[in-house]
Amino acid sequence: MSHEAEHRGQREGLQELLPPLTTNEAALEAARCLMCYDAPCTHACPTHIDIPKFITKIHSANLKGSARTILESNLLGATCARVCPVQQLCEGACVLGSEHKPIAIGRLQRHAMDYAYGKNIQIFQPAAVTDRKIAVIGAGPAGLSCAGELAKRGHSVTLFERRDLGGGLSTYGIIVLREPVDIALAEVKMIEKLGVKIETGRDLGVNLSPDDLRKNFDAIFLSVGLGRTPSLGIPGEDHILDGLDYIEQSKLDTPRVRVGHEVVVIGAGNTAIDCATIAKRLGAERVTMVYRRSENEMTAYPHEYDFIKREGVGFYFLAQPGRVLVENGEVFALECARVSLGTKDASGRPSPQVIPGSEFRIAADQVIKAIGQQKPAVAAELGLKTTKGFISVDLHFETSVPGIYAGGDCIRARGAASTVMAVQDGKLAAQTIHERLTAHG
Amino acid sequence: MADLKINFAGIKSPNPFWLASAPPSNSGAQVHKAFEAGWGGAVWKTIGAPVLNVSNRYGAWHYGGQKMLGINNVELISDRPLDVNLREIREVKRAWPDRAVIASAMVESKPGAWHEIIKKIEDTGADGIELNYGCPHGMSERGMGSAVGQVPEYCEQITRWVMDVAKIPVIVKLTPNIANIVLPARAAVAAGASALSLINTLNSIVGVDLETLQITPNIGGKGGHGGYAGPAVKPIALHMLAALGTDATVADAKLPISGMGGITTWQDAAEFLLLGASSLQVCTAVMHYGFRIVEDLCDGLSNWMDEKGFATVGDVVGKSLTRVSDFKNFDLSFRAVARIDQQKCIRCDLCYVACNDTAHQCIDLIAKDGTVVQPRSYDVRSNGKEDAIETRPRVEVREHDCVGCRLCYNVCPVEGCISMVELPPERASVTWDQLTQKQREITEDWKKMQEYREKMGIHIH
């Protein structure tokens, strides 16, 4: 391990927020589970993990069986245990939620996954090899899930990753408070041990030719995610940091993260909250989030919003950034204008309208933007049909080009993008690819 | 305020709660402390024959996150010198004249040995003597404890030896490790005992260590059966208590019965009283939580008695005994069905799986549109709490198919959600006993039984 790797995410304030459950805590929590039949938590989980089953196995101290139960439905169970918006999913559907406290499903799942990874237990082994070859583009959650599911079925899978490390957003984009880098990388290694060949530094259209892929593979799965943060188109934008870079540095180049005294984060989604969290935790005196719509329209999960308020972060709602004010090369403020909300726009949300003459300044020596991500560029290069810029797929995750499948954030035209949805896309696409490639063989 | 005082075969105590003869009543210091906490009496840990104990003497059964639902032990009778015990019994009784101090005794099955111990106990000023015919381990291998309790003739013989000399009340403590608890009780009655008590502990092996394959607890590489007690044995104790109360010979003798076996809460206590116990002994709950639990035992019992209009403990004793009967006397025309309160239902579907997998298949899942659906009928792409909650079917009982088995009621985790609703009978009341007497052929021949069912409109699918 390099010196740098040793310091990944290791910095006071950034440690994983929730401590692991002790064996006793896990046993007591597991005992509280009613063991619902056809359980609503399992329905609510996008990957439909048999939750009562894995909790029963924690209760009976069969942690290996518990881990297997989780991984059978979701190969990235360790990541999902940490990053899933459980309040919206399994725990939100728990029958104990109405009167009591829902079961801490996420933390129990983490307990089982920590056991398996802590003991280096490789739950699944590579199957007997078939002669089918599949290329998976992008080693994020959707790609890892698809590659792993196909490898479990004995297919020869090559996973091409543009960057140096696999894991996608789990490695690069989820703050350490929620998921340490090691967890994401352990999952990549587990997928590799299933027989998946991972080639990093391979960028589609740059040093990876679509024609070669089509020639050499029986099927292609695109899990390329989304692009960089789009431009705001305001003066001084050069001085605004990209939120994704900010988070990435906090994870992989932690000692070198520089945090301002007065930090302004533009945006009010989950990534924006992550940026504000880093700034606050690494010592910023004041962190303010600026959003051009109101509290009601923000895309962050309610529990994330609650969290960041408790962190002491301030908010400017109904404020549209106008320009970054710079003196001697140093940022000193963000100028915003007040807006009012008008009629609904294409996104179905009321469109912000600038109130003339309402400009005001927010003192800032660091401005970060986290206002979503650009649509996948590969769609056009490969001639794939798109929906609102996202790659269009049918019910079986096949794109408009036969033999090319896609899943994860790059197809998420509807609904909130999340790791667990990406894992399910990859799993379902793998099922289809497997069925189709073996139907005639 | 209900009056909790009791007079048990002449032994008086301010409340019916006594420490059972066990580790909590092993010494004067402990019994002092228990009386300070409010215990009405204590049955001293059994004194008598000389013994030596071993380590790892208590094993326990834990379940569902609950510790010690059952405890088993291979501890013997008191291993403190006899004269120390006798001295402390005397001191405690002198210090606590209003409390019941009862000495439990067990000696070799010889008249001389029993005569001697009885005299020594009486000399301390103790209020009564309990004869330990129950310990199922160790002492029984030496011909004492349950080796006596399991043979009615021995019970009777030894009790007679005791009654020959005893001047204070004598309680015979019965072992549950016997096919018919009534027989040793009748023996005690025949020998002139003043009272009965039950149950002692049950034979048990509490477990096996899956790491070492040793018996739990591991006593130097060996293990074996020990006496089992605690909440898990309460239903067994209640049955044996009721069996005494409903046996004509025992009941006619009108001996008071001291009930024990898993009493942990005042509700348990009230149930023992209702089934005929007039003093109550507690051990495992004290070993789990300490002497302090007596406060709520008294407080809860008193509040319940006030609520129910019982002025004295005596008013409660045996109140439910008249309802204890046998299957042959149950009304075969009695009908109840399960009904689910949809407002209270949290949709865990435990009733559904219990009914459909293991009972009578009469609970359905009903979708929003009123159709019956199968479990897991949602699309694999459906997810999120809204989908899961909003599309979750409700559970409904098909009452005409429900046999009223009560399994769903028992598994439902929500208080008051499933109720067993009594329906008007469709046929005249009849018991199996009556059928046997009046239409014996029905009870002996399946064909005749079918004809009877047809005639009566009894359809079992």
Percentages (nearest 5) of helix, strand, coil residues in chain B: 40, 20, 40
Contact between chains at B383 and A95 (C-beta distance less than 8 A): no
Map out the domains of chain A with their CATH numbers. 3-118 (1.10.1060.10), 133-227+374-439 (3.50.50.60), 237-369 (3.50.50.60)
Name the residue facing A36 among B349, B378, B383 (closest C-beta).
B349
Q: What are phi and psi of B51, to 5 degrees?
A: -145, 165
Mean pLDDT for chain B?
96
Cβ-defined contact of B383 to A31 (cutoff 8 Å): no
If you average pLDDT over every residue of chain A, what do you get? 93
* Residue A165 confidence class, pLDDT cut points 50, 70, 90: very high
Distance to chain B for A220, nearest Cα, Å: 22
- Segment A20-47, tens digit of pLDDT: 999 999 999 999 999 999 999 999 999 9
Confidence class for position A391, pLDDT limits 50, 70, 90: very high
**Domain range summary for chain B, segments of one domain joined by +:** 6-321, 327-429, 436-461
pLDDT in the model for residue B193: 98
Q: What are B347-404's pLDDT values in tens digits?
A: 999 999 999 999 999 999 999 999 999 999 999 889 999 999 999 999 999 999 999 9
Whether residue A34 and residue B375 make contact (CB cut-off 8 A), yes or no, is no
Interchain pair B347, A99: CB under 8 A: no
- Interface A–B counts its CB contacts (< 8 A) at 76
Above 90 in pLDDT, residue B139? no
Nearest-CA neighbor of A109 among A74, A140, A139?
Answer: A74
Kindly state the average pLDDT of the residues B70-86: 96
Q: Predicted confidence band at A349 (pLDDT cuts at 50, 70, 90)?
A: confident
- Say which CATH class B6-321 falls into: alpha beta
Residues of B assigned a catalytic role:
135
Judge whether residue A347 has pLDDT over 90: no
Contacts of B350 in chain A (CB under 8 A): 34-37
Q: Do A93 and B380 touch (CB under 8 A)?
A: no
Report whether CATH 3.30.70.20 matches the domain B327-429. yes
- Rounded to 5 degrees, φ, ψ at B218 are -90, 115
B199: closest CA of chain A, how far (Å):
31
Q: Kindly report the nearest CA distance between residue A51 and chain B, in angstroms.
A: 13
| Chain A residues touching B65 at Cβ < 8 A | 27-28, 30-32
Question: Is A343 in CB contact (< 8 Å) with chain B?
Answer: no
Locus of tokens 């034979």: B203
Average pLDDT over residues B30-42: 98
**Which run of H or E residues covers position B59?**
strand B58-63
The C-alpha atoms of residue B46 and residue B104 are separated, in whole angstroms, by: 4
A40 touches chain B (CB under 8 A): yes
pLDDT value at residue A324? 97
- Provide the angle, in degrees to the nearest 10, between the axes of the packed helices A105-118 and A181-193: 60
Exposure of B34 in the CB half-sphere (CA atoms within 13 A): 32
**pLDDT by residue (tens digit) across B216-258?**
999 999 999 999 999 999 999 999 999 999 999 999 999 999 9
Chain B positions in Cβ-Cβ contact with residue A421 (cut-off 8 Å): 383
Interface of B with A (CB under 8 A): 64-66, 346-350, 352-353, 375-376, 378, 380-385, 387-389, 391-392, 413
Q: Across the interface, do A93 and B389 touch by the CB < 8 Å criterion?
A: yes
pLDDT per residue as tens digits for the range A271-298: 999 999 999 999 999 999 999 999 999 9
Band (pLDDT 50/70/90 cuts) for residue B64 is confident
| A80: closest CA of chain B, how far (Å) | 14
What is the ipTM metric for this complex? 0.88
Query: What CA–CA distance (Å, rounded) separates B390 from B221?
Result: 57
**Rounded to whole angstroms, how far apart are CA atoms B202 and B148?**
15
Q: Identify the pLDDT of residue A5.
A: 54
Percent of chain B with pLDDT over 70: 100
A95 chain-B contacts, CB cut-off 8 A: 346-348
Shortest CA distance from A92: residue in chain B: B385
For residue A6, the model assigns a pLDDT of 56
Say whether B364 sits in a helix, a strand or coil: strand
Predicted local distance difference test score (pLDDT) of residue A283? 93
Chain B residue with the nearest C-alpha to that of A97: B346
Confidence at A1, pLDDT banded by 50, 70, 90: very low
* pLDDT at residue A350 is higher than 90: no
Residue A34 with chain B: CB contacts under 8 Å: 348, 350, 413
Please write the tens of the pLDDT for every residue from B308-344: 999 999 999 999 999 999 999 999 999 999 999 999 9
Mean pLDDT of A376-385: 88
Structure tokens at B237: 């104790």
CA-nearest of A149, A67, A144 to A108 is: A67
Name every chain B residue with its beta carbon within 8 A of the beta carbon of A46.
383-384
Type and span of the H or E element at B236: helix B234-245
Number of other residues whose CB lies within 10 A of the CB of residue A22: 10
First to last CA, chain B: 53
CA distance A14 to chain B (A): 29
Structure confidence at residue A7 (pLDDT): 67
